[in-house]
Amino acid sequence: MPTYPSDDGTELAYRTEGTGDPLVVWPGGPARDAAYLGDLGGLARVAGRTLVVPDPRGTGDSPDPADPTAYGPSRLADDLDALRAHLGLERIDLLGHSAGASVCLLYAARHPARVGRLVLVAPGTSAVGLDISEDDWEERVALRSGEPWFAAARVALDSDDDSPATRQAMSPFLYGPWTEAARRHAATDEAQRNRGGTLAFRAEAVDTATTRAALRSLTAPVRVIVGELDLMPGPEVGAELAALFVDGRSVVQPGAGHFPWVDDPGRFARLVSAALED
């Protein structure tokens, strides 16, 4: 895989797929090998883009940083700008998934002139201080109450235990239909995750007020894509996030969860393609 140097000297890996204008895809997890993204439902072909997909530090083919705390979203936003410079681009189109959206939001807040388009898929919203109320959370959980897996998955969802077994038990909540494809995707989670990196990412305190204020100067189109059945952000929080931007819109993928390209690859690729062109 090709590599690029971050400003602290770490050589970070990335892969490319497709042809056309670059679209940088920042993965979530946090601290999960970008392999979980697959081909994003054939997005490179459908959108006519070159996908540039980095392995964040400590995941995939990228090494652990010398500083074990250097996994936070601010540090990763620096890595993202180093990738932009490596690619020789003045502006980049960005797609961020889940916790990767927080990295993209911080990047856009710091460097609004360097963002061409921003697509946020099932985005984490901690960087801008958006959350779901307890009542709304219960309503979203209850949407799945008719599923045969619900009772066991609900026990795991409510548990304080973050072990691999508990994560696997609650994983049906992360998908739309609990198909064989969803099961295979869920089974890769533990092997692809850097646990120390996940904890370090979550430990960083972000100044949400400053970030939100800075994002008001972002004139680039921002499109938020959320799954109809995703617990968080869900359609309501997705719409709140889109409303923060001068040119923000939110789109809901019917029947999808937190990994919408697994639930309906073709529809997901078409939604992102449209978001990059509208």
| DSSP tag of 175 | S
Domain that holds residue 110: 3-133+194-277
- Does residue 107 fall inside a structural domain? yes
Assess whether pLDDT exceeds 90 at residue 69.
Answer: no
Return the pLDDT at 12: 97
The count of other CB atoms within 10 Å of the CB of residue 171 is 23
- Does residue 153 fall inside a structural domain? no
Return the pLDDT at 68: 81
Are the C-beta atoms of residues 202 and 190 closer than 8 Å to each other? no
- Does residue 140 fall inside a structural domain? no
Return the pLDDT at 94: 98
Task: Give the percent of the chain with pLDDT over 70.
Answer: 100
- Does residue 220 fall inside a structural domain? yes
> Each residue of 131-186: pLDDT tens digit?
999 999 999 999 999 999 999 999 999 999 989 999 999 999 999 999 999 999 99
Return the pLDDT at 278: 82
Are the C-beta atoms of residues 156 and 169 closer than 8 Å to each other? yes
> Each residue of 187-242: pLDDT tens digit?
999 999 999 999 999 999 999 999 999 999 999 999 999 999 999 999 999 999 99
For residue 244, the domain's CATH number is 3.40.50.1820
- Does residue 105 fall inside a structural domain? yes
Return the pLDDT at 121: 98
Q: Across the chain, what does the average pLDDT equal?
A: 96
Q: How many domains does the chain have?
A: 1
Exposed / middle / buried, residue 80 (Cβ in 10 Å: 0-12, 13-18, 19+)? buried
The letter for the amino acid at 17 is E
Q: How far apart are CA 30 and CA 24, in angstroms?
A: 17
φ/ψ (deg, to 5) at 143? -60, -25
- Does residue 72 fall inside a structural domain? yes
Assess whether pLDDT exceeds 90 at residue 113.
Answer: yes
- Does residue 20 fall inside a structural domain? yes
Q: How far apart are CA 98 and CA 178, in angstroms?
A: 20
- Does residue 175 fall inside a structural domain? no
- Secondary structure (DSSP) of 262-274: HH-HHHHHHHHHH
Are the C-beta atoms of residues 234 and 226 closer than 8 Å to each other? yes
Q: How far apart are CA 97 and CA 40, in angstroms?
A: 11
Q: Does the global pTM surpass 0.95? A: yes
Return the pLDDT at 225: 98
